[in-house]
Amino acid sequence: MCPYMTDYKAIDFFCGGGGMTCGLRQAGINVIAGVDFDPQCKETYETNNPTSKFIEANIKELPTNYFEKEFSIEKDDDKLILIACSPCQYYSIINTTREKSKESKDLLMDFKRFVAYYNPGYLSVENVPGIVTNKESILPDFLNFLRERKYVVQYKVVDMSYYGIPQSRKRFSLIASRIDENINLPNPDEKQTLLEDFIGVKNGFQPIKAGHKDKTDFNHTVSGLNEICTKRLEKTPRNGGSRLSWKDDKKLQLKCFEGKDSSFKDTFGRMWWKKPAPTITTKFFSISNGRFAHPEEDRAISLREGATLQTFPKDYVFKTTSIGATAKLIGNAVPPEYARRIGEIIVNSQNR
């Protein structure tokens, strides 16, 4: 948490468990409220961000003047920041069923309604890279709307491993201002951030076995493994090994991978110490869903390790009832470190 609070205020739409809110607060921004339709986010969000109110609502049904009435938010406030990190399955490169994710397609335009009403000094948007390249994307319409309202807009796809986040996480990032004509996104670091700087014994993570349950708030909990998956990991070389090391073992090889050495190469793979982690998804607790095995120990990474790779503070408490629910909050979050850098760009924009 920033030792002081500035006079900037923000509303965090699609806030989830509070990754963006956490980072903005670290930059000294008063996040008035977070909005999300998932009630399972509420306790985690408000526990860790006690001065921010969780609003359980569907943005499509939320009255535009809600924040004006409930929080006395004024229109045309130069110090107001609106944030949109909307669910983005429709534009994801992952081959999900489009019909199921259609509702996420136009959420940015629902956010536009609040931008038009409040006319904030700043806004920021985070999404999947596919929102730039998908032919059905509503991004061009949103950009035209901002420019018509005289916002200066900067956006690009960023690799967050160059922004203090130890994972290869590529995301669309946009920042806009109607009062700062020189607004821009944070500058990247010269070097990537590496896994070894965040997890491992030297970073406070004691060795544990698959199935370990941590009942403290630290939540160094890890999913269990059956006997055959344990044997697969035991045969997977430390520090970056892959399933190809046991592809010729008939007892260990999966039929779905036979003759497909070039497909799903990261599945059952180990992370590398001296590289960024892969993108932390909502399934990072499972070694069958990607390169989510610990570099040395025969297990998937723990919930706290996943949260740390997302740059959540180690005292950030996840108030959920299952491994899957916790991993969902963590994997869907905007990494707080990137949010902090966005926040500092805004806070310092008038001082350049």
* Whether the Cβ atoms of residue 257 and residue 148 lie closer than 8 Å to each other: no
β-strand 122-127 against 170-177: which pairing, if any? antiparallel
Residues near 340 by beta carbon (within 8 Å), at least 6 away in sequence: 23, 24, 26, 27
Quick one: tokens of 52?
A: 């921010």
Asked about 88 being catalytic, the answer comes back as yes
Cα end-to-end span (Å), the chain? 24
Catalytic residue among 2, 88, 229, 256: 88
Q: Which of 278, 319, 301, 280 is nearest to 222 (CA)?
A: 301
β-strand 9-13 against 30-36: which pairing, if any? parallel
Q: Facing residues of 36 across strands?
A: 56
Per-position b or e across 25-38, b if 16+ CB within 10 A of its CB: bbbbbbbbbbbbeb
Distance CA 293, CA 270 (A): 4
Which residue's structure tokens are 């993570």? 205
Distance CA 300, CA 199 (A): 13
Q: DSSP code of 292?
A: -
Q: Which of 219, 215, 210 is nearest to 308 (CA)?
A: 219
Distance CA 238, CA 293 (A): 10
* Ramachandran angles phi, psi of 158, nearest 5°: -110, 145
**Residue 231 C-alpha from the chain's centroid:** 32
Q: DSSP code of 277?
A: B
Annotated catalytic sites, by residue? 88
